[in-house]
């Protein structure tokens, strides 16, 4: 969520309430946010490619058009559906349709199945973090 007048540093749009919607109109994604049924809804229109959000989180009673889901997926945008208690129920992420990306993902899984490679990578990550935070690395040297 974003505070009024503040920039959304997580690039997430939260739609909730009765009557929220995500639809397509004139090749733009239309996000309609209804916090309560008695107030005027917030409506935003963006081209999917220039949309400032990476993820759209929805909760409540509303609808999402299949055309909007398709366009969001093509532009690498994620949609997360929450239940009434705020627990994630569905995470819709774009498909990796490139063979190269699929091979990379499979290689990552295979790497983490190998214990020696896994330990080496964990050591390298910790080492890199120590050098990026010099105060922490000095404190760790004394331990």
Dihedrals φ, ψ of 66, to 5°?
-65, -30
The model's confidence at residue 29, banded by pLDDT at 50, 70 and 90, is: very high
From residue 70, give the alpha-carbon distance in Å to each of 14, 18, 62, 74, 88.
Answer: 19, 23, 18, 6, 21
The stretch 58-84 carries a mean pLDDT of 90
Task: Domain 12-92: give its CATH superfamily.
Answer: CRISPR-associated endonuclease Cas1, N-terminal domain (3.100.10.20)
Q: Can you give the pLDDT at residue 35?
A: 76
Q: Where are the alpha helices (DSSP H) in 2-86?
A: 66-74
Structure-model confidence comparison of residues 116 and 100, the more confident one: 116
**Spans of all domains in the chain:** 12-92, 99-142
d(CA 97, CA 84): 33
Q: Can you give the pLDDT at residue 34?
A: 81
Q: Are 84 and 90 in contact (CB under 8 A)?
A: no
Structure-model confidence comparison of residues 28 and 10, the more confident one: 28
pTM above 0.85, yes or no: no
């Amino acid at each position: 969520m974003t505070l009024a007048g503040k920039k959304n540093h997580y690039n997430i749009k939260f739609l909730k309430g009765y009557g929220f919607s995500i639809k397509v109109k004139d090749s733009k994604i239309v996000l309609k946010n209804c916090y309560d049924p008695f107030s005027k809804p917030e409506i935003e229109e963006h081209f999917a490619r220039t949309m400032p959000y990476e993820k759209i989180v929805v909760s409540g009673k509303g609808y999402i058009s299949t055309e909007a889901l398709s366009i969001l997926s093509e532009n690498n945008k994620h949609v997360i559906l929450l239940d009434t208690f705020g627990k994630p129920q569905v995470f819709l992420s774009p498909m990796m349709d490139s063979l190269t990306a699929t091979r990379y993902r499979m290689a990552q899984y295979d790497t983490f199945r190998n214990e020696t490679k896994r330990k080496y990578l964990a050591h390298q990550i910790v080492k890199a973090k120590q050098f990026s935070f010099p105060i922490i690395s000095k404190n760790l040297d004394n331990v």
